[in-house]
A = this chain, B = another copy of it.
């Protein structure tokens, strides 16, 4: 058993998922357990170590082949030193996770933020498997992103590379303030939250739309379903979300000129209905040489992108 193996950890607020990958980004198996965040940081870290050892029992040849454990975390991190400065949904404040976990596991540990890690997972073991330069968008509650150039994750000078949801791109007259404090960020229109907000605004102002008759809380899926069914108000909302996504990709195309855009997250489940509109805008706004051969495709790994990318931190970050 001489092939190198890598463990990835997706540390969430309620569950911890761990996965084992080979050196080419294939996910061999996963294990999952509760985070138990209420018990504090040390309990959470002890759980991670326990789940890793469930995944790969110490003393086995597989254990010996594990070169490192990568952890993806939502929060503000000091990545080089492996410290969680602060996490919005975990009981961590200035915790030297890398150091503690290396002691608990006895393997090298790296940490990185969850959006970067998910992007790296798709690039390394998913929809970007055979391309060197790709850019990932995750369309969920917000819009996350990640940039992979020459097969490596780009972090930038303050770790903000690939924060595509905060590109200020919405036309001035339609721009609203984003949670980050700035005006007109992409995620104010192209996230699930943005789509729902536009739908609620339309209902509230009395636009003639089937969305007025949806029972319970409106979801982004309701908006896509209505749009696919011919509802013009819903179609306008979807085209707006798609327009700004395509426009942001046109900007990204002349900055880093990727070969592939990979779109994941809940909103991407709208599928080709959404993708076709994004592609149309991208093709309209991007210089020919920067769109030649560029593909806009769906993510492939779903919820496993996080563990795969965390495992990939040892080869690709």
Chain A residues packing against B (C-beta within 8 Å): 131-133, 145, 147, 149, 154-164, 166-169, 171-172, 180-185, 247-248, 250-259, 284-290, 292-294
A255 with B157: in contact, given A181-B287, A287-B182 (CB under 8 Å)?
A: no
User: How many whole Å from A127's CB to the nearest CB in chain B?
Assistant: 15
Q: Are B247 and A161 in contact (CB under 8 A)?
A: no
**Which residues of B are found within 8 Å of A167, using beta-carbon distances?**
250-251, 254-255
Question: Which DSSP category, helix, strand, loop or mixed, fits chain A's interface?
Answer: loop
A285 with B168: in contact, given A254-B163, A255-B162, A255-B256 (CB under 8 Å)?
A: yes
A-B contact pairs, 16 of them (CB 8 A): A133-B156, A155-B257, A156-B258, A158-B257, A160-B254, A160-B257, A160-B289, A161-B256, A163-B289, A166-B290, A167-B251, A168-B251, A180-B287, A181-B288, A182-B285, A256-B256
A255 with B259: in contact, given A180-B287, A290-B163 (CB under 8 Å)?
A: no
**Which residues of B are found within 8 Å of A185, using beta-carbon distances?**
287
Q: Are A164 and B132 in contact (CB under 8 A)?
A: no
**A215 CA / B124 CA spacing, docked (Å):** 60
**Which residues of B are found within 8 Å of A257, using beta-carbon distances?**
154-163
Q: Are A132 and B160 in contact (CB under 8 A)?
A: no
User: How many whole Å from A84's CB to the nearest CB in chain B?
Assistant: 16
**Which residues of B are found within 8 Å of A294, using beta-carbon distances?**
157
**A172 CA / B182 CA spacing, docked (Å):** 21
**Most central of A185, A256, A258, A259 by chain B CB within 10 Å:** A256
Q: Are A157 and B132 in contact (CB under 8 A)?
A: yes
**A133 CA / B168 CA spacing, docked (Å):** 21
**A147 CA / B171 CA spacing, docked (Å):** 26
A286 with B182: in contact, given A255-B164, A255-B252, A256-B147 (CB under 8 Å)?
A: yes
Across chains A and B, which 4 residue pairs bring their CB atoms closest together, nearest first?
A156-B257, A157-B259, A160-B290, A168-B285
**Which residues of B are found within 8 Å of A287, using beta-carbon distances?**
160, 163, 166, 180-182, 185
